[in-house]
Amino acid sequence: MRSPSTETESALDALLYTRFVNLVDPASLALIIPVISRGLNGQQPQTRPKAAQIVASMVHLVGDAQTLAPYAEDLVKLLEEAAQDPQAESRTTAARALGVLASAMSNTLVDKIASWCLHGVL
């Protein structure tokens, strides 16, 4: 991206509408994750649901979910923040992405997400 502050949404749209015919490898993730992070962390509210949807899809596009491990903690933090967004679409897609990510990752990550969920409820 030449200008990440103005092209994040178009990059997310391109990822959303890309039909992947192969599994996503670690090198591809290294390019995709910063775009997703910018979308989840961005100032434009319409980018959060798109980025969260990509995270949920990405779990199924990697051959081994542990490929996401280097990015998991940061993604969880960003998704937790998006799950508290005032926009309902952001909250629901972020919660769904957290669930998909938790189901694919290690028990430690699942425990962290469950703890966050219970802390928010109680």
Report phi then psi at 24, rounded to 5: -85, 125
- What's the rounded mean pLDDT across residues 65-80? 88
* Distance, CA of 117 to CA of 122 (rounded, Å): 9
Residue 122's pLDDT is what? 42
Percent of the chain at pLDDT > 70 equals: 83
Residue 39's pLDDT is what? 94
Q: Over 70: is that where the pLDDT of 117 sits?
A: no
Q: Over 70: is that where the pLDDT of 107 sits?
A: no
**119, burial (CB in 10 Å: exposed 0-12, middle 13-18, buried 19+):** exposed
Domains of the chain: 4-121 (1.25.10.10)
Tokens of 18: 């890309």
Mean pLDDT of the chain: 84
The residue among 83, 78, 16 whose CA lies nearest residue 53 is 16
Q: Hey, CA dihedral for 120, 93, 73, 12, is it positive or negative?
A: negative
Residue the block writes with tokens 């969260």: 52
pLDDT tens per residue, range 13-67 = 999 888 887 888 899 999 999 999 999 998 888 999 999 999 999 888 888 878 8
Q: Over 60: is that where the pLDDT of 121 sits?
A: no
The residue among 53, 47, 31 whose CA lies nearest residue 87 is 47
**65, burial (CB in 10 Å: exposed 0-12, middle 13-18, buried 19+):** middle
